[in-house]
Amino acid sequence: MSAPPGAGADAPPTGSRGGVLRRLLDAVERIGNAVPHPATLFLALSAVVALLSALAAAGGVAAIHPGTGEPVPVVNLLSAGVVRRLALELVPNFIGFAPLGPVLVSLLGLSVAEQSGLLGAVVRLLVARTSARFLTLAVVFAGVNAHTAGDVGYVLLLPLAAALFHGVGRHPVAGLAAAFAGVSGGFAANLLLSPTDLVLAGLTQESARLVDAAYVVAPTASYWFLAASVGLVTLVATVVTERVVEPRLGTYRGTVAAPAGAALTERERRGLRWAGLVVCALVALVAWGVVPADGFLRDPEKPGVLGSVLVRGLVALLFVFGVLPGIAYGAATGTMRRDADVYRGMQRSLETLAGYLVVVFFIAQFVALLSWSNLALVLAVHGADFLRGLALGPVPLLLMLVVVTAVTDLILGSASAKWAMLAPVLVPMFMLLGYSPELTQTAYRVGDSLTNIITPLASNFPLVLMFLQRYDERAGIGTLTALMLPYSLANVVCWTAMLVAWVWAGLATGPGAPLFLGR
């Protein structure tokens, strides 16, 4: 059995200090690491989906689409037509895979900041000014609120958190885990509205109008509950990191050197000042473009800040905020003297992404095949019908909704895609029981966050695994799953308990959002 991530050969064997949870996590890691390479895993899953689709299609398995009323049959992926389609769309599936572009573009920009030395200087500055006592809390809190910016939280915060922990003498993987628990494990919790809130509210409204044609669901439908959840998720992840995850990891004995702890030189301070001036100028430019109603970053067809380029074009902004301050810092410190140095920095970043690109290619084909087969839609519809047939009370039904969503999340990561399938069945069903669409959506948001961090099928899982392997080359799927399982289990207990208590207390889930209809 391998040692914990990054523990090294001299560390005591995992589980040597006892504990049921420790032995469970060691078993999860051992079994998970026996799983083939992620690319092989997705290739095998694609074959399984193809075989199941052929069997289901031969048996006439289908469902009635709850939105259109049209029958949705399972499509046989082994048919000649689908094989031809795959041959023609193999490249578009890969290039069009949603997380791929944002990750590549974001890292291109951040690589300039990294290679110039700017990020390293920032880490050293933060280490010097951050109290070690509150470091975990600060990292988790930042992660919980980072997903407003989409994949930016993964690309920027996770490696930064690992470096911060490493810089103060703590295990870097613990920092990575804390940030991941915030960004992905606390996906629904947020103090700010995000584009996801807009999308899900729209889907909930359309589903509610199957029962009440005039029903309106605001983007703030779940805001009170999700804002309150920030404190819960932050506290839970902090306790799990410091009481469970970090003790299990032990002392880091890997080969990655900690960020230099020496005081910043005058040249580095000058570079930070120049980079800071560039950042301030960029912030002022963005404010000029988004604050006025007719600002150049506003979209006339989508009024409001949430519809602006600021929100929808965050990846491009991150690229600019990485490149320009990085160049300013490099020019001031002498680490980037020519344009070739800038492009060389970008090239080094892409070299580290080679393994990620390989895995993403197979993920993209799997997601496309699953969508083409209609298996996910059919399973979602029949699963919702099963829940209806149980005739349980409202709270047990809400808990079942959380469970169904969490299980579905293990194979289908997109929050909007799952809700597009589930909402047309579940929202009307709960409305007929007297419970509001806002409450149903809130329960869905909880379930959608619980298993994000432990499923290899999540779109960003390979990226997180790549960050982990920087500190432990032997780390595999089982290592990352075992690392994050305590967070998932703690959230299952605490977050669902908070949901039940919220309903029992009769608190509104958001501004003007009732729990019950007709009350």
Are 387 and 401 in contact by the 8 Å Cβ rule? The answer is yes
Provide the pLDDT for residue 3: 47
pLDDT-derived band at 13 (thresholds 50, 70, 90) equals very low
Contact predicate 6/471, CB 8 Å: yes
In percent, the amount of the chain with pLDDT more than 90 equals 27
Instruction: Dump pLDDT digits (tens) for 406-431.
Output: 888 777 666 766 777 677 777 877 77
Distance CA 272, CA 284 (A): 18
Which pLDDT does position 318 carry in this prediction? 77
Please give the share of the chain, as a percent, with pLDDT higher than 70.
Answer: 85
Residues sharing a CB contact under 8 Å with residue 103, sequence separation 6 or more, in sequence order: 151, 154, 155, 353, 356, 460, 463
Query: What pLDDT does residue 515 have?
Result: 87
pLDDT of residue 10: 40
CA distance 94 to 305: 31
pLDDT at 352: 67
Could you tell me the pLDDT band of residue 168, with boundaries at 50, 70 and 90?
Answer: confident
Higher pLDDT, 186 or 130: 186
pLDDT digits (tens, 9 = 90+) for 42-99: 788 899 999 999 999 999 999 887 656 788 899 999 999 999 999 999 999 898 876 6
Helices 375-390 and 354-373, axial angle in degrees (round to 10): 60
pLDDT of residue 17: 44
State if pTM tops 0.75.
Answer: no
